[in-house]
Structure 1
Amino acid sequence: MRAFLQSAIICAAVGCAIVGLTILQPLPSVAADSNAKQRGAELFAQHGCAHCHGPAGVGGGRGPDLQLVRKRMNKGQIAHQIHDGGMSMPAFASSLTDPEIEDLVAYLRAKRKFVRVPAAPHPAPPPPTSTDSDPN
């Protein structure tokens, strides 16, 4: 009986020590920080996203304008679109890691200000040609 009591006390002490150590460990941060947004901006530029979505996602063209994508899609939907592609967007699963996709999502979700892109200027009309055939 005494050996059983000693074993129970030792187990309880070890259990308390394990619980105490886990409580003292700092919890990992789950918030997207500015570093993730900065890395996402770099990835956006490096992987040709601006080719279809415009510089910094403003303007679109071939692809949609991404300024307010956070209002149209949640994090999971944005990540899925980047990973698997769809419609005319290619999939980036083979060229981006999951953490890189998370950085891109953080960057896109951080966009808050709507910037109106001006229309391309119309070309200047050609100068008028002279129809005067009089050499004098």
Structure 2
Amino acid sequence: MKTIKTHFCIDDEQVTKVAAHLVKITFGHPRSLIAAFDNCQSYNELLEYEGSEESHGIVWATFSECIKSYPEPVKLMMSQAMNSEPVNLTNVWRGHGQKEILYDSVANGLGIAWEGTVDEATLYMPSYHLQLILGNLYSLSDYLTVNFNG
């Protein structure tokens, strides 16, 4: 039986780097991981892998509803994620007449992975996932400004 290490002829440190990258990109979704290994032929390709446009187990109705219901925390989290700034997922948001919700719950509704501590979390998502969030959150002119002007 071949291992990832033997198949790609990589060492333990490289295996660790590949594993960390792929978990962030695929959220550990088994079919997505298999797709990465099927599509990549080298260590460098694995590190550059951005994923496919599969759902990764996300319930798209919940995803869309989360963006519409909680625009302020989503905008804040996306801004901080794009600037590689940590997010405090213990923050609470209350919309117009809505119940309070933790930023952590909003992140979960969007299928966003994170690491670190809950009060200083680094957010991770595939790049197409970020584009879906931004595309649903902003008008076209705002989307282009956010996407291309930082």
Q: Say which structure, 1 or 2, has more relative contact order (CA 8 Å, 6+ apart).
A: 1
Larger radius of gyration: 1
Higher-helix-fraction structure? 2
TM over 0.5: no
Higher normalized strand content (fraction of residues): 2
After TM superposition, the score normalised by the length of structure 2 is 0.30
